[in-house]
Amino acid sequence: MSLNDTLKNLRENGIDEAKRAQKLQELNDLRVNLLGKKGPITKALRGMKDVPAEQRPEIGTLANNVKKDIQAAIEEKMAELNQKLIAKKLEEETIDVTLPATKKVQGTKHILNQTIEDIEQFFIGLGYEVAGGYEVEEDHYNFERLNIPKDHPARDMQDTFYLSDELLMRTQTSAQEGRDMEAHDFTKGPLKMISPGVVYRRDDDDATHSHQFHQIEGLVVDKNISMADLKGTLDALCRHVFGPDREIRFRPSYFPFTEPSVEVDVSCFNCGGTGCRICKYTGWIEVLGAGLTHPNVLKMSGIDPNEYSGMAFGLGPERFAMLKYGVNDIRDFYLNDVRFLEQFKGVN
């Protein structure tokens, strides 16, 4: 058999073997066996010395074409097998989109955060600013600037966590009042602020008490502030939180930083004022404390009480939420029990 015929047979057999291959490894072995240095094509070309000189270019061209044709057949078959492998893998990993999806539980803001943000938005709508304050506070701002000097008996009303002689965990967000009155420029208008945040008191935890709870303090300082301004503001707040039919009443009370001081009651939203278990059959529920800012508090901030007056109020978001939603134990707010918390999804 001539060298020309040998090369043509090698091409025909190589292409045929490539087409019959069922595995990629078979194609790799075929390429090495046919096209490698020790393959039959290389061996056949060693007979070029016996070919007349004028035929050698033709044989050389044929040999190159044989290699290219076999390589092309191998690559074509490889592409076909790879495509089949991909199709098989896709079939095995196919997701049945007709099956129900895994349900993802959507969380919600904590009910206390919802309550605080709702109250914040109410006061922002009235032109108030929101001031955070410091949880680790100076005795000077927490007590003395609120007209509660050292050894004053009013300090017994708040059992305090002291960190040093002058530093403590704030017992009330009222501590921010002194800082804001110092910093405010009254030539640009009145001071209107609320200060929400966490406060701390050494107390025994039970259904209605906690050593750590939230408070929102409010303060307005301007010329000619009166009890009418205070009552109108708190009346609007209680109607916003507890319902448009609510009424409020003031009862005389005592706070060192306000004079006069009042306790604020709201008409019972459960019975409408006729008397029930929630209001202890009085028709009223105590919700917060308030009053007109004491002249001494204004003086200590460099404000002339003969020219300016103020009003202050403090409320507990926990108490508001307990009353509004019928929560009987304040500790439920802090236990992170999803069964409890999911009841208040988007209530505000």
Residues at the binding site are 259
Other residues' Cβ atoms within 10 Å of the Cβ of residue 138: 17
SS (H, E, C) the chain: CCHHHHHHHHHHHHHHHHHHCCCHHHHHHHHHHHHCCCCHHHHHHHHHHHCCHHHHHHHHHHHHHHHHHHHHHHHHHHHHHHHHHHHHHHHHCCCCCCCCCCCCCCCCCCHHHHHHHHHHHHHHCCCCEECCCCCEEEHHHHCHHHCCCCCCHHHHHCCCCECCCCEEECCCCCHHHHHHHHHCCHHHCCEEEEEEEEEECCCCCCCCCCCEEEEEEEEEEECCCCHHHHHHHHHHHHHHHHCCCCCEEEEEEEECCEEEEEEEEEECCCCCCCCCCCCCCCCEEEEEEEEEECHHHHHHCCCCCCCCEEEEEEECHHHHHHHHHCCCCHHHHCCCCHHHHHHHCCCC
Category of 54 on φ-ψ map: left (φ > 0), alpha (ψ -120 to 50) or beta? alpha
Q: Please state the residue numbers annotated as binding site for Mg(2+).
A: 259
For residue 260, is the peptide bond before it cis, meaning its omega torsion is within 30 degrees of 0?
Answer: yes
Report how far residue 44's alpha carbon sits from residue 66's, in angstroms, rounded to the nearest whole number. Answer: 12
Cα separation, 4 vs 6, in Å, equals 5
